[in-house]
A and B are shown apart, each in its own frame.
Chain A
């Protein structure tokens, strides 16, 4: 009897193992084609025949890495006092505060990495790991990532690559585990921090000529995408509340008019780079800048405190 049950169990286990291997496919040393074959999924038999009308829509916000690159190339300087102190990490206990502050810390981390702030990078990666762990994001930052960061801390390219991977791991994990509202708040937190940094790195007296003013004006374009992304997830109470706060920023941005000429495509750029030629004009009045800065600071400080 014992032997018969054992045989059945073995058969069952073998069947499970076979199914698992069939599903999991190759995970180790596979050729490129074998690896790509894994990503082809058999259609269920009841698939609709006419699929031409099926369309998925994505909204992409500037990531923390892109935000930091744009800040740096626009002449920003590094100011540690603007960062959300890592000591605050233990205060964040709700999904909302953890997601928003993970976005904020990742933007701080990207900003620090572009200015070669080694110790700050390590501290902020550690804070990001704690929040990702508490949000249940598996392996966003594992031990190997932290070791790789410490070993390459003076290599900016590798550090930025690690930050980029960490952000991708967090947002993709949340999206793939059907936690889109949390992913949306993570992205919105990063976006808000980018605006907060830009607003606080400019002196009001420099509004007429500082190159970073354009970053603040151009945020109007990505704010539309922030609102669309939040709207997509507004059935979630936390997201709905955040939408209300972002709406205050949107109201102020309505006072900034941007005029643009149509885009002309110029394919004569060096190294095959196409240049999209167009001009734009926009202006931000002092009182609008002041209101925007105080509103953003108030919202951001309520999130980090």
Chain B
């Protein structure tokens, strides 16, 4: 019986670590899987990843600079539905929509003048009768550095 408090303490400590474990998985996912999609582009080092559930949306605001070649990589776990993303200007005009391109996970572009753009990401809702899945979704940016 004397060991019971020790066991409970260990179990409590283990479950306290659960959120960190999920977060660490997200970081690992961004680094080990999503970063590969940047291929020859230089990862800018920024980290944007979160656990999203099917049906959820996220928005990311970023300034992109004139004359640079950029690649956006948006990826989520393969067991989740295809991740949908759109790139919009500040008036929310759609500049790119990956649902029109077979949900490809990357988009390469260059700007003639610097702009603040918004990347809208959505994990499509599951089919009726299916439980929504949750998983990591990461948005990474690469530059060609040319």
Chain A interface (Cβ < 8 Å from any Cβ of B)? 5, 8-9, 12, 16, 19-20, 23-25, 32-33, 35-43, 47, 50-52, 54-66, 69-70, 73, 157, 160-161, 163-168, 171-172, 175-177, 214-215, 218, 221-222, 224-225, 228, 260, 262-263, 265, 269, 271-280
Q: Which residues from chain A contact B32 at a C-beta distance below 8 Å?
A: 35
Q: Which residues from chain B contact A38 at a C-beta distance below 8 Å?
A: 25, 28-29
Q: Which of B86-143 contact A (CB under 8 A)?
A: 89, 93, 95-96, 107-116, 125, 131-136, 139, 141, 143
Q: Determine if B134 and A41 form an interchain contact, defined as CB atoms under 8 angstroms apart.
A: yes
Known contacts A12-B10, A24-B21; can you find 10 more A-B pairs with CB under 8 A?
A: A25-B25, A38-B25, A40-B133, A56-B59, A58-B60, A176-B23, A221-B116, A225-B116, A273-B109, A275-B110
Chain B interfacial residues counted at CB < 8 A: 77
Minimum CB–CB distance for B104 against chain A, Å: 10
Q: How far is the CA of A69 from the CA of B70 in the complex (A)?
A: 12
Interface of B is mostly: mixed
Q: How far is the CA of A238 from the CA of B11 in the complex (A)?
A: 36
Q: Which residues from chain A contact B33 at a C-beta distance below 8 Å?
A: 32, 35-36
Query: Quick one: CB contact mask for B68-90 with A, threshold 8 Å, 1 for yes?
Result: 11000000011110000000010
Q: Determine if A225 and B143 form an interchain contact, defined as CB atoms under 8 angstroms apart.
A: no
Interface of A is mostly: helix
Minimum CB–CB distance for B6 against chain A, Å: 8
Q: Determine if B3 and A9 form an interchain contact, defined as CB atoms under 8 angstroms apart.
A: yes
Q: Determine if A60 and B62 form an interchain contact, defined as CB atoms under 8 angstroms apart.
A: yes
- Known contacts: A56-B58, A69-B68, A218-B65. The answer to whether A41 contacts B51 by CB under 8 A is yes
Q: How far is the CA of A38 from the CA of B32 in the complex (A)?
A: 12
